[in-house]
């Protein structure tokens, strides 16, 4: 049995997806489509932005979604999971990778979700904490 699990917010890093963009025509096409759909060049922030820019929720969530979905799509015939799952934001990536939502539908949903969460963060600033034992 083969399963793919997609990450949620917190998995971002500057440079994510750049190798895909530079070395895979499908990935480049999808990233450019995302720039168009989002109305800004998220690739500039993902590939060469600052950590501060990338950790803004309104950027982080679409960036992780894009990296996850585009990586899955570039696997082509190798991407044949028996099941997919995602942690939080990763649920959207899983749905698109599995074909339950189109790339554009998923991206628009994630962008809307990210903007709503960004606004909530601005109203009540806070941080996320993890406890490791």
- Domain ranges for the chain: 3-123
pLDDT tens-place string over residues 30-75: 999 999 999 999 999 999 999 999 999 999 999 999 999 999 999 9
> By C-alpha distance, which of 27, 16, 21, 87 is closest to 53?
16
pLDDT confidence bin for 118, thresholds 50/70/90:
confident
Name the superfamily (CATH) of residues 3-123: Malonyl-Coenzyme A Acyl Carrier Protein, domain 2 (3.40.366.10)
Whether 67 contacts 13, CB under 8 Å = no
What is the pairing mode between strands 3-6 and 83-86? parallel
Determine the length of the chain. 133
**In sequence order, what are the residues at sequence separation of 6 or more whose Cβ sits closer than 8 angstroms to the Cβ of residue 75?**
none
Q: What CA dihedral angle connects 72, 86, 44 and 112, to 10 degrees?
A: 120
Q: Is the confidence at residue 104, as pLDDT, over 80?
A: yes
pTM to 2 decimals?
Answer: 0.90
């Amino acid at each position: 049995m083969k399963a793919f699990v997609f990450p949620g917010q917190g998995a971002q890093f500057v440079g994510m997806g750049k190798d895909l963009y530079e070395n895979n025509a499908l990935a480049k096409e999808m990233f450019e489509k995302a720039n168009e759909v989002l109305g800004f060049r998220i690739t500039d922030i993902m590939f060469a932005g600052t950590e501060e820019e990338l950790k803004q929720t309104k950027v982080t969530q679409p960036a992780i979604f894009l990296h996850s979905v585009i990586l899955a799509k570039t696997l082509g015939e190798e991407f044949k999971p028996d099941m997919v799952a995602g942690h939080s934001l990763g649920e959207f990536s899983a749905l698109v990778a599995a074909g339950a939502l189109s790339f554009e539908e998923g991206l628009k949903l994630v962008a809307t979700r990210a903007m709503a969460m960004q606004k909530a963060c601005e109203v009540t600033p806070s941080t996320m904490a993890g406890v490791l034992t």
